[in-house]
Amino acid sequence: MTEVDPGFWTTLADVVAGVSLLAGAFLTLAAAVGAVRFDSLLGRMHAVTKPQVLGLILLLLGLALRVRSWSAVTMLALVVVFQLATAPVAAHLVSRAGFRTGKIDEDALVPNEMEHDAAAAPPDRD
């Protein structure tokens, strides 16, 4: 193999960083659009857990590739870990609170296997 110009890796990192930043920005924008357009609390929770989390991860990845300093990269990794650990829990608690306080239009859910009365048996798998 021929010698690779060290500038090549810098350029590659810059290109990957640029793509990551653009994709992350798109997903974050889509999450914001979803939070506005989805008509139910639960739909909005979907928007803030999936595209938002990956959008942030991609933005931070792009940042890490561009900054290239270990202390910054470890900090960004921490942000990702905390985001992955907290976003689902927050969405779960908001959704559960919505259900328990009757803020969810349950007629819009088809099928809705979660009955009002806790005694109702769930459908059997077998």
Partner 1 sequence: MNDSAETTLRARAGRVAAQWPALAGLTVVWVLLWGDLSWANVLGGLALGVLVVVALPLPPIPSRWTIRPGPALGLLGRFVVDLVVASFNVAWIAIRPGPAPQAAVVQVRLRNPEDVFLTTTAVLSTLVPGTLVVETERDTGLLSVHVLDIDSSGGPDGVRDYLLDLEDRVLRSFAPRDVLDRCRAQDGTEAHP
Closest Cα partner for 84 from 41, 55, 64? 55
Considering only the stretches 9-17, 60-68, 85-93, report the one whose residues sit in contact with partner 1 under the rule CB under 8 A: 85-93
Q: How far apart are CA 55 and CA 79, in angstroms?
A: 13
Q: How far apart are CA 75 and CA 87, in angstroms?
A: 18
- Choosing from 51, 59, 61, 62, the residue that interacts with partner 1 (CB under 8 A) is 51
- Choosing from 9, 11, 18, 37, the residue that interacts with partner 1 (CB under 8 A) is 37
Q: How far apart are CA 41 and CA 34, in angstroms?
A: 11
Tokens at residue 64, please?
A: 């890490």
Is residue 16 within the footprint of partner 1 (CB under 8 A)?
Answer: no
**Angle (nearest 5°) at CA 29 between 77 and 75:** 15
Residue with smaller CB distance to partner 1, 18 or 43: 43
CA–centroid distance for 30 within its chain: 11
Considering only the stretches 1-9, 10-18, 52-60, report the one whose residues sit in contact with partner 1 under the rule CB under 8 A: 52-60
Q: Which residues bind partner 1 (CB under 8 A)?
A: 26-27, 30-31, 33-34, 37-40, 42-43, 45-47, 49-51, 53-55, 70-72, 74-75, 77-78, 84-85, 87-89, 91-92, 95-96, 99, 106, 108-114, 122-123, 125-126
